[in-house]
């Protein structure tokens, strides 16, 4: 364990990688600090695993550099072999050695030391992943979640500064997934590891990450905190990835940007054309309509219960249908006349 949490432990700069004539990673840059979880979110085939393979040293990129701590491991005339990089991996299929028990799986990649030191460290790792009693178990006798935690302990045994997780929770059922994810990420933060987590699940990236990079067709579209990605998506496709989005036409009046619901709040996101505002349902406020209003008059036409909140669809009398998120149970009924206004996230 080393380094303050502001240390940039993994740095990828302008990496491009092709298979034959097909470029699948284009000019990708990202940084992961020690103790932080960075999610790489993108659909299947977008180049996520290829980027991990470049970072691990399993692929040599066309161009670009990779640094771990202060050492460049990939670059022009630099190609540190995978086993000499301070990197751990956990994959979707755990890849434990089936013929070795848990103890021997974990001891396998551990750096040299006395037998007592190695066993003490192995036991301490098992305790960290909440499997203190499982040292003698064979992998096939463990549940999927337990096997995944052994895989994590085995990867941590090498004391990597950087951990690469490739869809590590996707084969677990929903309840187990949350539990194993929480344990895994808590342990990685405690070890001050820089973690790059690949996922195609937007909700998972929102829950887990300090930073999320959205990748599409090999290119990073946006890197931001989960909250900034949600409220200030770079484009409509990214906006739609993370939930319901309202789109309103924007016209310029002097320095102001005006919609059918009045002036946009200063921080509102626009799509790439700069002519459409991208507004989350949390940015739409409803009030009872008392008498005629000039802007923002509408009628409630749908109510979608979400548990603690309702998504209320309002047909604007002079505009499109917009959706507002309101606390449940709320007082809105289908057919009610409402006044709609914009607010900051
Ligand atoms: P992801 O992890 O986002 O699903 P990949 O990095 O696995 O994406 O793949 C990106 C693209 O590269 C895909 O079109 C895939 O078919 C292609 N690809 C992956 N590995 C190879 C390979 N070894 N040889 C040729 N093409 C590959």
For residue 326, the domain's CATH number is: 2.40.50.140
Look at residue 4 in the predicted model and tell me its pLDDT: 40
The number of CA neighbours under 13 Å toward the Cβ of 51 is: 36
Tokens 């380094």: give the residue: 3
Question: Could you give the CA distance from residue 30 to residue 70 in angstroms, rounded to a whole number?
Answer: 15
For residue 1, being part of any structural domain is answered with no
At 205 the three-state DSSP class reads helix
- 314 or 254, which is more confident: 314
Determine the atom of ligand 1 nearest the C-alpha atom of 42.
3
Q: Is the pLDDT of residue 8 over 70?
A: no
For residue 217, being part of any structural domain is answered with yes
- Residues 152 and 205 grouped into a single domain: yes
Q: What CATH number corresponds to the domain at position 105?
A: 3.40.50.300
Q: How far away, in angstroms, is 150 Cα from ligand 1 center?
A: 28
- Pairing state between β 284-288 and 276-279: unpaired
- Residues 217 and 180 grouped into a single domain: yes
Q: How far away, in angstroms, is 61 Cα from ligand 1 center?
A: 13
Question: Could you give the CA distance from residue 28 to residue 266 in angstroms, rounded to a whole number?
Answer: 30
- Residues 73 and 145 grouped into a single domain: yes
From the list 298, 292, 267, 301, the residue with the least C-alpha distance to 282 is 267
Tokens of 266: 């200063």
- Residues 211 and 274 grouped into a single domain: no
CA angle 203, 208, 272 (to 5 degrees): 55
Supply the range of the domain harboring residue 291. Answer: 244-342
- Residues 75 and 54 grouped into a single domain: yes
- Residues 23 and 87 grouped into a single domain: yes
Number of domains in the chain: 2
Q: Is the pLDDT of residue 2 over 60?
A: no
For residue 129, being part of any structural domain is answered with yes
Cis upstream peptide for 329 (omega within 30°): yes
- Residues 19 and 105 grouped into a single domain: yes
Out of 15, 20, 40, 45, give the residue to mutate to test ligand 1, the one with the largest number of ligand atoms within 8 Å of its CB: 45
For residue 330, being part of any structural domain is answered with yes
Look at residue 77 in the predicted model and tell me its pLDDT: 93
Last residue of one domain, picked from the residues 219, 236, 253: 236
Q: How far away, in angstroms, is 198 Cα from ligand 1 center?
A: 14
Last residue of one domain, picked from the residues 211, 236, 261: 236
Determine the atom of ligand 1 nearest the C-alpha atom of 166.
2
Q: Is the pLDDT of residue 13 over 90?
A: yes
Tally Cβ neighbours within 10 Å of residue 87. Answer: 24
Question: Does ligand 1 have an atom closer than 6 angstroms to the CB of 45?
Answer: yes
Q: How far away, in angstroms, is 79 Cα from ligand 1 center?
A: 21
Q: Is the pLDDT of residue 81 over 90?
A: yes
Condensed to tens digits (0 to 9), the pLDDT of residues 292-328 reads 655 689 999 999 999 999 999 999 988 899 999 999 8
Last residue of one domain, picked from the residues 220, 236, 252: 236
- Residue owning the nearest CA to atom 6 of ligand 1: 47
- Residues 48 and 177 grouped into a single domain: yes
pTM of the predicted model as reported, rounded to 2 decimal places: 0.89
For residue 2, being part of any structural domain is answered with no
- Residues 163 and 285 grouped into a single domain: no
- Residues 232 and 271 grouped into a single domain: no
- Residues 29 and 117 grouped into a single domain: yes
Q: Is the pLDDT of residue 278 over 60?
A: yes
Q: How far away, in angstroms, is 45 Cα from ligand 1 center?
A: 6
Look at residue 345 in the predicted model and tell me its pLDDT: 78
The mean per-residue pLDDT over the stretch 271-277 comes to 85
- Residues 195 and 65 grouped into a single domain: yes
Tokens of 104: 């021997």
Question: Could you give the CA distance from residue 69 to residue 9 in angstroms, rounded to a whole number?
Answer: 4
Query: What are the CA-CA distances from residue 195 to residues 55, 141, 172, 255 (Å)?
Result: 12, 29, 20, 42
């Amino acid at each position: 364990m080393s380094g303050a949490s502001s240390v940039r432990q993994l740095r990828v700069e302008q990496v491009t990688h092709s298979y034959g004539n097909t470029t699948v990673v284009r000019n990708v840059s990202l940084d992961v600090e020690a103790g932080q979880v960075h999610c790489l979110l993108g659909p299947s085939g977008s180049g996520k695993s290829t980027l991990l393979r470049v970072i691990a040293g399993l692929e040599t990129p066309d161009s670009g550099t990779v640094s771990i701590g202060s050492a460049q491991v990939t670059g022009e005339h630099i190609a540190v072999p995978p086993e000499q990089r301070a990197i751990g991996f956990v994959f979707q299929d755990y890849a434990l050695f089936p013929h070795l028990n848990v103890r021997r799986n974990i001891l396998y990649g551990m750096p040299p030391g006395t037998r007592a030191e190695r066993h003490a460290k192995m036991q301490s790792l098992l305790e960290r992943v909440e499997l203190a009693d499982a040292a003698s178990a064979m992998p096939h006798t463990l549940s999927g979640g337990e096997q995944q935690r052994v895989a994590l302990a085995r990867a941590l045994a090498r004391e990597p500064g950087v951990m690469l997780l490739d869809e590590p929770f996707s084969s677990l059922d929903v309840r187990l997934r949350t539990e194993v994810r929480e344990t895994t990420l808590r342990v990685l933060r405690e070890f001050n590891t820089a973690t790059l987590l690949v996922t195609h699940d937007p909700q998972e990236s929102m829950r887990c990450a300090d930073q999320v990079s959205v990748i599409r067709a090999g290119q990073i579209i946006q890197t931001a905190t989960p909250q900034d990605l949600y409220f200030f998506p770079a484009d409509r496709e990214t906006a739609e990835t993370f939930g319901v989005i309202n789109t309103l036409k924007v016209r310029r009046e002097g320095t102001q940007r005006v919609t059918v619901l009045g002036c946009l709040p200063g921080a509102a996101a626009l799509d790439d054309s700069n002519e459409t505002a991208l507004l989350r349902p949390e940015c739409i406020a409803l009030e009872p309509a008392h008498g005629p209003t000039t802007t923002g008059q509408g009628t409630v036409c749908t109510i979608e219960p979400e548990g603690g909140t309702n998504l209320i669809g309002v047909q604007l009398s002079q505009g499109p249908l917009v959706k507002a998120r309101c606390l449940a149970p709320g007082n809105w009924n289908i057919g009610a006349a409402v006044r709609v206004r914009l607010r900051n996230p």
